[in-house]
Structure 1
Amino acid sequence: MEPEVLSFTIPIESNKIVFVWNITAQLSEGEIYFSLLKVFSQFGPLYSLKLLPNAGVAEPGYYAVLKYFSSRSAKKAHAACDRKSLFQDSPLKVQVCSRQKQFPYKSLELYGHKCQEVANYYLGFNGWSKRIIALQNISGLDCDAEEAASPQEQSKLRYLCVVEVTIHGHDIHSRGVGVAEETIEKQKDCAEFLSKNAKVQKFAVQKALSKAFQKILLIVFDSEKVAVEYVSDEDDAVDCLTEEELQGLIQVNDFTWAPMDFGEGDDEETLANLTFHEASITDGD
Structure 2
Amino acid sequence: MTASKIQTSASIIEPPVASEPTGIPARGRPRIRRDSLMTGVKAAVGILGLLGLWQLAVVVTDPPEFILVGPLAAFQELFIRPDYFVTNAWVTIGEALAGFVGGVLLGVLCGALLHYSPTVRTFLYPALVAVDTVPKVALAPLFIVWFGFGFESKAFVAMAIAFFPLVINTFDGLSSVPHELKELARINKASTWKRLTKIEFIYALPSIFSGSKIAISLAVGGAVVGEFIAGSKGLGYVIMLANSQVDLASMFAAFFVLAAIALVLFFIVDFTGKKLMPWKSYTK
TM-score (norm 2): 0.26
More relative contact order, 1 or 2 (CA 8 Å, 6+ apart): 2
TM-score (norm 1): 0.26
Q: Which has the larger radius of gyration?
A: 2
Of Structure 1 and Structure 2, which has the larger fraction of its residues in strand? 1
